[in-house]
Every structure is written in structure tokens, then in C-alpha cells.
Structure 1
Amino acid sequence: MSKKESKQRLDCWQKKLEQDRDAWERFSSKFDHREELYFGSRELKPVVENDAKRTTPHVRNIICELIEAQIDPTVPQPKVSGHSQEREYLAKVVEDKIRNELDRMPMEALNDVAERIVRIQGGVLYMAEWDSSSGDHEHTGDLVITAMHPKQIIPQAGVYTGFRDMDHFFIKRSTTKTYIKRRYGVDVDDEQE
């Protein structure tokens, strides 16, 4: 791909990102409001119009207490079934492999974070990706799983029925330009975001 084609492609996706971000911006305040309720607020809503803004000296964060009471620290375990009696052994092998991967990764911490996000925001996205830069002397690369907050995902504008119906969506995460160059082979030194 030539530099000109690469620039045109980048410009096209940046326009899509801008359109999708503008459409998604109105939901962002709802996310912030839910987290404000969870973390507790001293602000009192005025009872009558033109009432002075006041704060309360006491905060009993009942929302946080109710959410914390619903947190389940257990990591869901895999269950794989074979299509036939002969394939039950293979299903057991796959199930054991998944269980070993869950034990190797910090799934308890990820599950704990995800449980809170789900209770506060209504959903969470697990992103599974392959990191080819890690590994050891026996293998190259490793599986990486991340629990993503809904504010980190920008869906396609106008599609509200689910991810399967979207042509694209964007993931907001902080990274460096050097990492993008090394990982994807694209030079973004002249770009803002």
C-alpha cells in the first residue's frame, strides 16, 4: 500500500470515528452519572425552583452498598460437551485447556472489575487478543484478556441492536505511536489521535 493510499484510508476511518463519537457523546453523561451515584455524592437536588445549591454533611452510599452486596467473586468455569460419545474425551481436553488458561491469567481480578462495571453500567466487554510480543522459550505470543468499560467502546452510529449488526466499532485505549508503528507497521507520527 502506498503512502497516499494509507493516508486516504486513515482519513476515512478518522471521519468515521468522529461521526460515531459525536453520536455516542450523549450517552457518555449517563455513564458518568451512574459512576457518580456509585461513588457517592454530597450534592442535594433542589426541592423548589431557584433553591440554593447545597451539600449534605452525611453520605450513606446505599447504592454502593447494594452493588457490593451483589458482587460474585467466583470465576465462571467452562463446560464443553461433545457432539457424540466418541468426542466426549476431546471435549474434556478442551475444557481442561480452557480451565488451565483461566488459572494462568489474572481472571479473579478481571472478574472482580467486570462484576462492578456490569452492576453500575449494565454491561462489560471482554476483549481477547493475541500478544505476539510476549511468550517464553517454548512458545511465541500469549493470550491477553481485558475487561473493557462501556466508555471505552464507540459503536457505529445509528446501530443499537448489537455488535453483530455493526459494520465497525472503535475501542479507545491509550497507547504510544511507537507501539502502533511496531505492531501494525503504520507510521502515525503526524497524527493527533
Structure 2
Amino acid sequence: MKTDRAGFFKSYLLDLLDGVHSAFPDELEEIANSFPELIRPPGAPAEQQFLEKCRRCGACIKACPFFALKPVFKANQFDEGTPALRTGESYCRFCSDFPCVKACPSGALSLQNPASCRKIATAVVLADECLRRKGEPCQTCREKCDELAGAISYPDEAQPPKIDAGACTGCGACAVFCPAYPENAIKLLKL
């Protein structure tokens, strides 16, 4: 099996996230900061397949009752007009009826891919930005996550949160409500 550059990084990131990320927080933070991620809606297949199928019609964006999706506008012509999560502005609620998926006329979003209907990304803590590391009491990310997935815990009082990559759905609630300023202490990594 041929491994391309993206496959290599994905494999590397998954290894880091799978229990080793506490041993390499600096490397993980560097990776999270270097890639502006497009987090696709639930039901999206692998990126290449998604880009081939998506008509850029905006039906999924209009169907989201929480305005969690936006069209992508950037220099890359292949991504132009495709839907992505409004990371840092809104978060995915994983609606029980998946209106965004059902609105997709091309099949680019599909309920046939159950794994992508339960997990769209993984949250990563940028430890140096976390208020807890700066000595300020904060539990906002865990409070928001407990409402949805329960993937965040605190190892001790002065440490940043630990995210259970297996339980994290990538909804983005923790990132939206993170009060760290000027840099948000939580980023989402695409699967």
C-alpha cells in the first residue's frame, strides 16, 4: 500500500492522539497550528471522495438548524464552496435526524458511513494557551464537553485538560467556548 504525505501525517497524528499525546505536547501543538483544518459535516467520506461528489450547492449549509456550517472560500479551487464546520464560531450538535446529511442531493454526505456520522474530528489542547496552565481556574471545556461527549478530564489542578481521543466526537463545543485569549487553547484536527 502506497503512503502519501497526507496519509503519513494522519497516521502520525493518530499515533500521537492515541495515548501518546501527553508525552509529546509540543509536537502536537506545532502540528495543530500549522494546518488550518476544514472539518467536514457528519457523513462526509474521505476528503478526495468528498470533493469529487460535492456539488457545492449549499443545501447542507442551509439545512443546519444551528448554523454550524459555512461555505469554504479560499485560494484552493477544489475546496471553494464546499461545506465546513464553523470552527471557533459554532459547533456540530450531531442532530438525531442529520438534516445536513439528508439535504445533500449528491451523496457527498451519507448516512451510509456511520463512523463519520459519530465523529468528524478530534480536539487537541494547546497547553501553553490554556488558562489552567497560567494558574487561572477554568473548567469551561469540560463543562461543555460533558453536555455532549464527556471526553475531557483534568489530570490535576494546574494542568491543561486531557482529551480522550476515542470519546471525542470533534463537535467543536470545547473550542467555541474556550475563554483563552488571544489564542484559543483548543483546536480541531481533521480525521
Q: Do both proteins adopt the same fold according to a TM-score greater than 0.5, normalized to the shorter chain?
A: no
* TM-score for both structures, normalised by structure 1: 0.26
Structure 1 or 2, whichever has the larger Rg, is: 1
* TM-score for both structures, normalised by structure 2: 0.26
